[in-house]
Structure 1
Amino acid sequence: MIAVYPGTFDPITHGHTDLIQRGARLFERLIVGVAANPSPNKRPAFSLEERLQLARAALNGAANVEVEAFSTLLVDFVDYHGAQVIVRGLRAVSDFEYEFQLASMNRQLRAEVETVFLTPSEQYAFISSSLVREVAALGGDVSRFVHPTVAAALKERVCRV
């Protein structure tokens, strides 16, 4: 069975990679979909190509995981790959309402596509891309929260601003 794990991954964190690795154990193929067009209230720190490269670096070695960009409706991306499942992460109860709305909308658009929710390991439950970006922007060490390649890219990006 094929599944899709979508996100903006700006940047990809250990929380993301934890969920992706666990999702990869559940499905024969897991496609990490990097959204080309994040929601209007998000301004990515990295370009789409940079987010793809960083995700691939952070996931190096995962045999059944692929990383691809998409700029369509998520359900169209899922259909294109012949996937049956969307994998989403829930860090806290506060994520549930939004994720439930997304899952319900996706079900209305494609009734045959299921959404599966995974929770991250406890040591990653508090990590979010926006918090990691904020810590990095203020000069903090983010190496505990992201892959070394991602930490270096964040440090370079913050220094250029």
Structure 2
Amino acid sequence: MIAYLKSAVGIATMLVIAALLAWGLRVDHLRAYWHDKYDVISDQAGKVLDSVRIASDNPDLEWEDTATQIDQLDASLTQWKGTAQTQSQMIDELGRDTERLRAENAELAAKVAVLNRKRAELIRRLDEDAMDPGDRADCWAQIREAEDALNQLYKEGF
């Protein structure tokens, strides 16, 4: 019986040792799993930190301040977008003003062309009158005609 008892104690001891060994292997496996997870997360956090350092031009940034720095970058980007939108609206408005001014310029150019034709006609009339002095006895009529022609030029803005 003692032999059976010794065998039973030996088998129980072996089972306990096997259970402890299995438990140790399981704990080691879990430790390795979480160690790998930590390494992956640590690498990702390092990449995020490096990217934020580059984006913010702040090489001394620490991990604890990364969230604040990202908020500041977001605020800066939002402000930049608002400024860009305002500038785009101003450029669009300037484009509309340019089109309006081009149309006004075309109208004024047409008016100038009409006035230039009128001026040329008045100058031609003055030249004709100068070439044909008319009746010398009626000098006052010639002077009035010259004054009328000059007044007409003055009225037309020449």
TM-score using structure 2 length = 0.15
Greater share of helix: 2
Greater length-normalized contact order (CA 8 Å, ≥ 6 residues apart): 1
TM-score (normalised: structure 1): 0.15
